[in-house]
Amino acid sequence: MNAWLADQDRTAIDALADRIAERDPDRLARAGDDRHFAVWMLLVDRKARNYSGHAVTDLPDWAWRDAYDDDLSPHDAFSDALAHWVDIEGL
């Protein structure tokens, strides 16, 4: 589990993972059936939608799993991705 996620309220994380499994099984499948990664990606997606109005899946590719494995927060991961896109793709 991502260290940032491990520092969050475990009950809330598990409840969110249960909701994803129940209501959005495609999100869970895109996360390789890793419930914690699915929760983390949902939080990244919320950041993306709040910032850009677009889902993370509508934005350029980024190494989300690497960011998760590197223990980044969803905010820091999205910030890093955004900086990369601006630098590389001129967004």
Whole-structure pTM value: 0.91
89 pLDDT more than 70: no
59 pLDDT more than 60: yes
Residues 2-22 as b/e (b if ≥16 CB within 10 A, e otherwise) read bebbeeeeeeebeebbeebee
pLDDT at 10: 96
83 pLDDT more than 60: yes
Write out the DSSP string of 15-70.
HHHHHHHHH-HHHHHHTTT-HHHHHHHHHHHHHHHHHHSS-GGGSPP--HHHHHHT
Q: Mean per-residue pLDDT for 60-81?
A: 96
pLDDT at 87: 77
pLDDT band of residue 90 (cuts 50, 70, 90) is: low
Task: Give, in order, the Cα–Cα distances in Å from 39 to each of 12, 24, 43, 49, 55.
Answer: 10, 11, 6, 15, 15
Distance CA 11, CA 13 (A): 5
